Amino acid sequence: MPSHYPLSRRTLLRGAAVAGAGAALWPVLDQATASGAPDTDSGSYTIRFDKDRKQTIWGLGFEIQSDSIGSGNNGMPDVVSGVPYDLTDSERNRFYQQILKGGNHRGFRYCRLAMGLYHRGLDSTRKHMVDRYEGQTALLADMLKKSGVEGVAAEYWSPAPGWKNNKSYIGGRLASFSSEALDALGDAMVGDLKYLSDRGVPISMWGLQNEPRYKTEYSSCQYSPEEYLKTFTAVAPKIRKEYPKALIHVDSQDGWSGKIGKAIKGNPDALRHVDAWTYHRLGNGYHNSDRQITEDFSSGRSGKHVFCNEFEYLQGGTTDWRTVNTAQSIMNWMTFHNSPTWFWLHALKPTTNSESDGYSLGFWRPPNVKNPERFEHIKERHWDFNPRNWNSVAGFLRYMPWNSVRYHVDEPKHANGKPFTDHRIMAWRTPGGKPAFVVTNRSEKDSFTYTVDTQSKGDFRGHRYGPSTNDKGLGTQKGPKLTLTVPPLSIEFWTAD
């Protein structure tokens, strides 16, 4: 009998938090274990614009909460609440400009849309997803158009309840894996996407199931590797035929290295429909950005892309250290695994939800909240930034345009051959050919001096980000060699004028 992975995501994470280092579900990674020694106080770096390009970085993604979820991810309330629905017209436009566009011509490229959770209305058969409230898809289409976001990464948190053995969005499995049932399910899923695209929501990506190993207290559906393989093989060709330009990914949790990914890899008919392997590697201790240096996410990719399509802090909210750690997650996925994109979990989360601090780039206050205990400065139907998370990603949105091309950087290493973990660098050329790079200092107390040979003449202009710093101007330095002393807990972007 196939394993049905009975433990919930919440149970797994709670267990990891309390078990201690010796019994953790994943290794606890810190500077000592990743590099073998503390980083020094300086280093010399050379950007290899003289070598072949590495990968094209398409742009970043975010998730949108367009319907309600219970505080602490506990259940799915009947109340209609979400973004952009709850916001006033002026606050919607400010959200589009300042978050989604990043204050720039273009910011985020992809919007992750949770099918069966944040888009969960049903038709009379309970087998097809439609708007749960009037104008839901129209609001999403308007948001994408006004913000310049290319399209949605549509991904199921659960198929419609009519296809499941418990007739519910929450928990359960598919009711049947017969060829006839899966053929009909595939047609229905194509229909769900057509409902969106016919109403002005372009489909950029598609995924069969978010975190298929886990049972949760919100929308979910569990698959064994054999069940996922059979379902994917039936449904993915239908998605490919109707949306040939959409990226199809597997498995939105453990990529190629999990049991589901290995089942897909072992089946040529399934593998030919895979464009990318997607992982969820979050920001908590055992998932910090060092893991992208110490763990292999690349060797088994079978020529497909690899990227993280969900990043957040499940435990403890955000901190000053985590501001830089988030930036390094983006950089390390791209530097060590040639990832073409990376997704933050939520653009905005409600002030009423306990998980919002670690999940969001900003907070909105829903209407009719009684006796608000947090974020009293945010007016009803308005929003504000979550600075320590927002400042992590804002510089990438502003200074790394869509389709920038990354180049290798020669960087110092410890005696054991491991790269520095608190001090990271990544370099690219914009689509217009201008050189740019980003450096970080994740140390909480010591400055770090970078000496960077840019192999580029002319002036570079600096911009600093940090827990409470957003786009602070640093003036210019003349290339090709720059000397940059980066304060603790700082991210700096240097771009050619």
Per-residue model confidence (pLDDT) at position 222: 98
Select the CATH number that applies to the domain covering 59-399 from these four: 3.30.420.10, 3.20.20.80, 2.40.50.140, 1.10.10.60: 3.20.20.80
Q: Would you say 252 and 207 are in contact if contact means Cβ atoms under 8 Å apart?
A: yes
Per-residue model confidence (pLDDT) at position 64: 98
The number of beta carbons lying within 10 Å of the beta carbon of residue 52 is 7
Q: Which secondary structure element, helix H or strand E, spans residue 190, and what is its range? A: helix 179-197
- Structure confidence by residue, pLDDT tens digits, 455-481: 999 999 999 999 999 999 999 999 999
Strand blocks (E) in 209-312: 247-253, 276-280, 305-310
DSSP string, 332-357: HHHHHH--S--EEEEEEEETT-TTHH
3-state helix, strand, coil in the chain (%, to 5): 30, 25, 45
What token pair was written down for 360? Answer: 């969001």
Residue 416, judged by CB atoms within 10 A of its CB (0-12, 13-18, 19+), counts as exposed
316: left (phi over 0), alpha (psi -120 to 50) or beta: left
Q: What is the mean pLDDT of residues 123-128?
A: 98
Per-residue model confidence (pLDDT) at position 35: 43
Q: Does the pLDDT at position 271 exceed 50?
A: yes
Mean pLDDT of the chain: 92
Per-residue model confidence (pLDDT) at position 315: 87
Helix axis angle for 387-399 and 320-337, nearest 10°, is 40
Percent of the chain with pLDDT over 70: 92
- Structure confidence by residue, pLDDT tens digits, 379-398: 999 999 999 999 999 999 99
What is the radius of gyration, based on Cα positions, of the chain?
22
Give the Cα-Cα-Cα angle 331, 111, 336 (nearest 5 degrees).
20
Q: Does the pLDDT at position 4 exceed 70?
A: no
Per-residue model confidence (pLDDT) at position 37: 63
Q: Does the pLDDT at position 30 exceed 90?
A: no
Q: What is the mean pLDDT of residues 300-313?
A: 98
Q: Would you say 87 and 93 are in contact if contact means Cβ atoms under 8 Å apart?
A: no
Per-residue model confidence (pLDDT) at position 357: 96
Percent of the chain with pLDDT over 90: 88
- How far apart CA 442 and CA 255 sit, in angstroms, is 28
Where in the chain do CATH 3.20.20.80 domains reside? 59-399
Q: In sequence order, what are the beta bridge partners of 465?
A: 491
Per-residue model confidence (pLDDT) at position 233: 98
Per-residue model confidence (pLDDT) at position 85: 98
Q: Does the pLDDT at position 11 exceed 90?
A: no
Q: What is the mean pLDDT of residues 414-439?
A: 96
Instruction: Tell me phi and psi for residue 413, to 5 degrees.
Output: -135, 160
Per-residue model confidence (pLDDT) at position 38: 74
- How far apart CA 397 and CA 390 sit, in angstroms, is 10
Residue 342, judged by CB atoms within 10 A of its CB (0-12, 13-18, 19+), counts as buried
Per-residue model confidence (pLDDT) at position 40: 86
- How far apart CA 30 and CA 39 sit, in angstroms, is 12
Torsion of CA 260, 262, 263, 264, to 10 degrees: 90
Q: Does the pLDDT at position 331 exceed 90?
A: yes
Per-residue model confidence (pLDDT) at position 372: 72
pTM, full prediction? 0.93
Q: Which CATH number does 24-53+403-496 carry?
A: 2.60.40.1180
Q: Would you say 298 and 307 are in contact if contact means Cβ atoms under 8 Å apart?
A: no
Q: Would you say 29 and 385 are in contact if contact means Cβ atoms under 8 Å apart?
A: no
Q: Does the pLDDT at position 211 exceed 50?
A: yes
Q: How far is CA 208 from CA 62, 429, 475, in A?
A: 18, 34, 47
Q: Does the pLDDT at position 181 exceed 60?
A: yes
Q: Does the pLDDT at position 341 exceed 70?
A: yes
Q: Does the pLDDT at position 182 exceed 60?
A: yes
Q: Would you say 446 and 41 are in contact if contact means Cβ atoms under 8 Å apart?
A: yes
Per-residue model confidence (pLDDT) at position 205: 99
- How far apart CA 323 and CA 317 sit, in angstroms, is 11
Q: Does the pLDDT at position 439 exceed 50?
A: yes
Residues 6+ apart with CB under 8 A from 110: 59, 60, 61, 62, 149, 150, 151, 152, 153, 204, 205, 341, 343
Q: Does the pLDDT at position 27 exceed 90?
A: no
If one compares 32 and 208, the residue with the highest pLDDT of the two is: 208
If one compares 158 and 22, the residue with the highest pLDDT of the two is: 158
Per-residue model confidence (pLDDT) at position 104: 82
32 pLDDT tier (thresholds 50, 70, 90) = very low
Q: Which secondary structure element, helix H or strand E, spans residue 330, and what is its range? A: helix 320-337
13 pLDDT tier (thresholds 50, 70, 90) = very low
Per-residue model confidence (pLDDT) at position 16: 33
Where in the chain do CATH 2.60.40.1180 domains reside? 24-53+403-496
